[in-house]
Amino acid sequence: MAEHTPKPEELSKVDYHPPKKGWMDPHVEFRKGTFCYSALAKNIEYLGMPNPREWQPFDADWKLPPNWKQIILDGMKERLEKYRSFRLFMDICVRCGACADKCHFYVGSGDPKNMPVLRAELIRSIYRRYFTPAGKMFGPLAGGRELTEEVIKEWFYYFYQCTECRRCSVFCPYGIDQAEITIIGRELLNLIGCNINWVMEPAANCFRTGNHLGIQPHGFKDSIDFAVDELEEITGIRVEAPIMKKGAEVLFIMPSADYFASPHYYTLLGYLMLFHEIGLDYTMSAFAGEGGNFGLFTSHEMMKRLNAKIYEEAKRLKVKWILGGECGHMWRVAHQYMNTLNGPPDFLEVPVSPITGTRFENAKSTKMTHIMEFTADLIHNGKLKLDKSRNDHWKVTHHDPCNVARGMGLLEEPRYVINGVCNHFYDMPENTIREQTFCCGSGAGLGTDENMEMRMRGGLPRGNAVKYVKEKHGVNLLTTICAIDKATLPAVVDYWVGGVEVGGIHELVGNALVMKGEKERTADLRGTPFAAKEVKAHA
Amino acid sequence: MNALLSLIVVLVLGALAYVGGSVEGLRTLFGVIIPYAAILTFLVGVAYRVVRWALSPVPFRITTTCGQQKSLPWMKAGYLESPYTTLGVTLRMALEVLLFRSLFRNTKAELRSGPQLVYGENKYLWLAALAFHWSFLIIFLRHLRFFMQPVPAFVNLLSDADGFFQIGAPVLYLTDVFILAALGYLLWRRFRDPQVRYISLFTDYFALFLLIGLAGSGVLMRYFFRPDIVAVKELALGLVTFTPAVPVQVGGLFFVHLFLLSLLIAYFPFSKLMHFAGVFLSPTRNLANNNRAKRHVNPWDYPVKVHTYAEWEEEFHDKIKAAGLPMEKE
């Protein structure tokens, strides 16, 4: 926890009264703990993007290019012509305010500019002033305002205070999606070099090494080897973990955090056990060693640049289809963008589970199946020997990642798998799960420590829902199928709840999976001893 | 401030029409020229805006999924909230347009001490929106009696149904009550709710006052200050048959009504009222969630600079080799 973050008691005193002064006069204060630092010049340079320089958001002079205003207006014009979503969402909002208290940042901060409607108005007001007859003629009366450097600073602050979670879009009567507006707003900011390091460094790393963390091929191999060794200690079985094996049936893509961060790592162990047990002919790749895509948080072009390696690697390795691990925004990209960006993948086949024979018709064009679909199908067909009681020490609740819920609709598969591998599962209240799930507050590249206060504010609704099931059912494990969640929810639940761990679903699968020839297991993948089997003990 | 200003503007405009209607020389302007100009502005303007939207392509299929995707055959998919087929999308859109499905979801979040976040039902906005839009449609259809001779049967039927309770004389139309109540609520909400007041622009109040003025003047005419109905119908029929006669004096209130209507119609293409057409084009709602089954094509797709496998292998050659991983070039 960053040193300046106020205590939960302080932070939860949220003032929802908007200021007396209207919002049209741009003003923003960069207070420590509520914003992310600027991108380092080396990262911008490496990616060949505009205006690399040394600067920070709290500097008075942002060192914008001299013609920045023209760049922004030209950029807006171009995007209005390229994206119907953008033009439409600029035009049709009626400011009914239904979205206002749907945003986790608004709920946690009370800052009116965090109401999705007003966050969008920050850019809409510029659109009206420069692109509509009413705005050109009547200015403020028609809701238009001048584009100044202060407006750019406001955009920066609030577009990097939106996690593109799409919750507002669920409630909007016209489906206006703030994520789409933020994506384009960030694209515009990138044109004049206003971006944050927590996004640009992973993007630069990913472009160079294939993953966000900048792990080089030997490092990738080392961490997989380490996992194989550890699994042998736990289970007595040495699993195979092929890397860049040509001619394998399946290419497995995961977020890099799975092999380099905790608690993601236990999920990796779960994958490796599962694939070994069912005898899946698969391969991982150090080149396509990242399913996550911080291009989504930068620009559509960067998303395409970072995503290209997945189909390229599938083609090079001559696999039949692609299986994707537990990740949130990776799946927004894989489900809604990848095939359009870098497809069609004609060299692949429709995914068919070699174990059950199930044809994944829903992935017949993109040729990439979600591991939750894959594992749910295995369990449904009785292909796994599972000892649920090995998860009896966990009382589980599940956090639906925003992108998987609202950008894909994968809601039941995780619950099916959880219920298949553990005995104690309790959903959080209805308004906080499935399509109404609340963001962790750190998505879309905002999960950095200097932004801790804002992350905790954004995490309040999620934290509160976890607290509810903890108090009601004694929940002690929050599962999620998103790498960013696994990295940032531990801080959120420690701060707002306490006494709840965060983990992946394939970690639970790994705990419950009874492998052929395994040695007697007494502890789960984390080394926590299994709950004593009371019935047997009494007998 | 925004509210007061827009109220004044609407009042001034209304007064203008009241005076205009009583001056013989101005009656043609308010009774014929302005209505025609307004309709022309509406048709050209709305067409322009819709074509403008349509000309911007939809590069990606960005459906907002509000229900279970179609995946495994034994898993129940939400065919309305996460439609997989065109039929599903059509039904989803129908629910959205006819019943305001998304607005129906509305909740109210309240942070209590503890902290404890509580979510309550909040259906008033949905109810008022629905009452307003449906009443407006029915009132619009009822008005066809002024524009058609003979009056079509369905218009009579609709009017009878609307006046079903037979209260007072002339019979009270329920939609008249609903529309004023709904508009009143929507206005009250903009004043009362601090958040909504904060986001409200001049144009938000202007649209509301215009509608209240329009509905209010109509109600006043029907129940209190009856204009010469025969003359009104003559004017209306003249307008729709393109044989407009110079209108006779049918009462100042009528000209207020007609002028506010003309303003509203002409204002449409320049305002947020375009949501009536825009909702049909919203890419988060009108596309199927079948992304992985059916490829979506981006018409302006272009090649980008990528880091190829060959470049990657070259850069990390020694390390890949030392780690004993398979390579293309040893």
A350/A482 same-domain check: yes
Q: What is residue A538's predicted lDDT score, i.e. its pLDDT?
A: 47
User: Is there a contact between A210 and B312 (Cβ–Cβ < 8 Å)?
Assistant: yes
A256/A124 same-domain check: no
Q: How many CB pairs under 8 A join A and B?
A: 314
Question: What strands, in cross-sheet order, belong to the sheet with A321-324?
Answer: A282-283, A250-253, A321-324, A368-370
In a domain, A500, yes or no: yes
Spatial separation of the C-alpha atoms in residues B325 and A507, rounded to whole Å:
27
Nearest CB neighbour to A107, from listed B117, B285, B293: B117
Tokens found for residue B200: 């409200």
Nearest CB neighbour to A460, from listed B53, B113, B115: B115
Residue B2, pLDDT > 50, answer yes
Convert the pLDDT of each residue in A449-470 to its tens digit.
999 999 999 999 999 999 999 9
Residue A1, pLDDT > 60, answer no
In a domain, A323, yes or no: yes
A377 touches chain B (CB under 8 A): yes
A109/A178 same-domain check: yes
For residue A111, the enclosing domain spans: 8-30+50-194
Residues of A (201-220) whose Cβ lies below 8 Å from B: 207-210, 216-218
- Pick among 3.40.30.10, 3.30.70.20, 1.10.287.70, 1.20.950.20: CATH of B2-322: 1.20.950.20
Cβ distance B117 to A465 less than 8 Å, yes or no, reads yes
A315/A356 same-domain check: yes
Convert the pLDDT of each residue in B282-301 to its tens digit.
999 999 999 999 999 999 99
The whole-number average pLDDT for the span A474-494 is: 97
The whole-number average pLDDT for the span A190-214 is: 97
Domain coordinates in residue numbering, chain B: 2-322
A67/A170 same-domain check: yes
A246 touches chain B (CB under 8 A): yes
In a domain, A523, yes or no: no
In a domain, A230, yes or no: yes
Spatial separation of the C-alpha atoms in residues B26 and A158, rounded to whole Å:
52
Q: Using a CB-CB distance cutoff of 8 angstroms, which residues of chain A are in contact with residue B297?
A: 340
Looking at this predicted complex, what is its ipTM? 0.95
A185/A216 same-domain check: no
A356 touches chain B (CB under 8 A): no
The whole-number average pLDDT for the span B65-92 is: 97
Cβ distance B315 to A208 less than 8 Å, yes or no, reads yes
A85/A164 same-domain check: yes
Q: What is residue A378's predicted lDDT score, i.e. its pLDDT?
A: 98
A146/A82 same-domain check: yes
Number of domains in chain A: 2
A337/A446 same-domain check: yes
DSSP per position, B104-159: HT-EEEEEETTTEEEEEE--HHHHHHHHHHHHHHHHHHHTHHHH-SSPPHHHHHHH
Residue from A339, A366, A492 to probe the interface with B (highest B Cβ count within 10 Å):
A339
A85 touches chain B (CB under 8 A): yes
Rounded to the nearest 5 percent, the helix, strand and coil shares of chain B are 60, 5, 35
Spatial separation of the C-alpha atoms in residues A139 and A145, rounded to whole Å:
6
The CA distances from residue A334 to A337, A417, A481, B244, in Å, are 6, 21, 15, 61
How many Å from the N-terminal Cα to the C-terminal Cα in chain A?
Answer: 48
A208/A123 same-domain check: no
Nearest CB neighbour to A98, from listed B58, B103, B325: B103
A190/A211 same-domain check: no
Residue B153, pLDDT > 70, answer yes
Q: pTM here?
A: 0.96
